């Protein structure tokens, strides 16, 4: 009996060690590129190319960030492009949350004929790659005069099938008793949705908002088609333009990448309280 307990104890310790080793390797794969980006942005290009790579910079090389903000033509267009990305990504995230939550609420809590068919048709659109509809969508945008406008960058992405799926699956578990009690008290459906459903869906809404914001913040292909003027370009277009015009200054490129990453890092840190609580359990799981 003692031998069996000892064997089980060693087996448990070994499995725990393997799990921790896997987690450490996974974390390293994620963090090493980020550490390289931040350290490379703080050193001149000649140091970045040194072998072995100096992971700790000798000092902070500010000209990388100054030149990154100034731009290849010294016009400081970075700030306008960053504002464009904030407007586009923020608008898409906001309306995606509202529309996906309303649609998911309707599909989860209202019974009507063809409800499952509607949901399956929405899910079927996730199987269609964006490249398949890109050219027809571009032709529609041109016909409607949305080229080189905020409307052309925002409107095509307000409907999000994944957002509908996420919110529907979350709201299916929402207690019907709370909704019925609100209806008995005389609350209308809009008030129930805005005052009860949305405030109680913080983790799902935060997840959807981050995913929608990130997808538009990183979007390159669609802005490349729709935008012509430098004033309407977004951050990904600014980065590609800078890389093409500055040839091979790796320090400046890494500095621009750091500047472009900061809004996403700030957004995640701001909304992280909706994901992980103090006791280590996710808020969604606890809900």
Region 218-222: mean pLDDT is 88
pLDDT of residue 89: 92
pLDDT of residue 57: 80
Instruction: Name the most confidently modeled range: 42-51, 154-163, 263-272.
Output: 154-163
How far apart CA 69 and CA 173 sit, in angstroms, is 47
The alpha carbon of residue 276 and the mean position of all alpha carbons in its chain are separated, in whole angstroms, by 17
Region 6-10: mean pLDDT is 63
Residue 99: pLDDT band (50, 70, 90) is very high
96: pLDDT strictly greater than 90? yes
pLDDT digits over 101-143, tens only? Answer: 999 988 888 888 888 898 899 888 888 888 888 888 889 888 8
Out of 13-17, 73-77, 155-159, 220-224, which region has the weakest mean confidence (pLDDT)? 13-17
- Strand, coil or helix: what is 282? strand
2: pLDDT strictly greater than 60? no
Better-scored residue on pLDDT, 280 or 198: 198
pLDDT digits over 229-272, tens only? Answer: 888 889 888 888 777 765 667 788 888 888 888 888 888 788 77
Region 12-16: mean pLDDT is 73
- 92 closest CA partner among 145, 149, 141, 159: 159
- Strand, coil or helix: what is 276? strand
Region 182-193: mean pLDDT is 84
Percent of the chain with pLDDT over 70: 89
pLDDT of residue 287: 40
CA–CA distances in Å: residue 248 to residues 225, 251, 253, 254: 26, 9, 8, 11
Query: Three-state secondary structure along 236-247?
Result: HHHHHHHHHHCC
91: pLDDT strictly greater than 90? yes
CA–CA distances in Å: residue 220 to residues 31, 61, 85, 217, 233: 24, 29, 11, 9, 10
Residue 87: pLDDT band (50, 70, 90) is very high
Q: What is the mean pLDDT of the chain?
A: 82
Residue 281: pLDDT band (50, 70, 90) is very low
166: pLDDT strictly greater than 70? yes
């Amino acid at each position: 009996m003692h031998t069996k307990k000892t064997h089980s104890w060693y087996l448990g310790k070994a499995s725990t060690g393997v799990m921790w080793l896997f987690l450490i390797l996974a974390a390293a794969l994620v963090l090493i590129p980020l550490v390289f980006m931040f350290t490379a942005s703080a050193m001149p290009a000649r140091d970045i190319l040194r072998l072995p790579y100096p992971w700790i910079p000798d000092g902070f090389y500010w000209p990388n960030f100054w030149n990154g903000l100034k731009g290849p033509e010294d016009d400081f267009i970075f700030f306008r492009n960053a504002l464009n990305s904030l407007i586009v990504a923020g608008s898409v995230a906001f309306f995606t949350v509202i529309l996906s939550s309303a649609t998911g609420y309707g599909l989860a809590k209202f019974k009507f004929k063809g409800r499952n068919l509607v949901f399956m048709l929405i899910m079927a659109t996730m199987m269609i790659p964006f490249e398949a509809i890109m050219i027809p969508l571009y032709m529609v945008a041109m016909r409607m005069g949305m080229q080189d406008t905020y409307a052309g960058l925002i409107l095509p992405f307000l409907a999000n099938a994944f957002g509908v799926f996420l919110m529907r699956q979350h709201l299916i578990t929402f207690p019907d008793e709370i909704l019925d009690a609100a209806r008995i008290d005389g609350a209308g459906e809009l008030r129930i949705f805005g005052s009860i459903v949305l405030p109680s869906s913080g983790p799902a809404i935060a997840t959807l908002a981050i995913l929608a914001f990130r997808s538009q913040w990183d979007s390159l292909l669609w802005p490349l088609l729709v935008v012509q003027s430098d004033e309407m370009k977004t951050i990904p277009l600014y980065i590609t333009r800078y890389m093409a015009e500055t040839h091979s200054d790796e320090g400046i490129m890494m500095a621009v990448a750091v500047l472009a990453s900061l809004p996403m890092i700030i957004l995640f840190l701001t909304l992280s309280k909706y994901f992980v609580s103090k006791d280590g359990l996710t808020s969604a799981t606890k809900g």
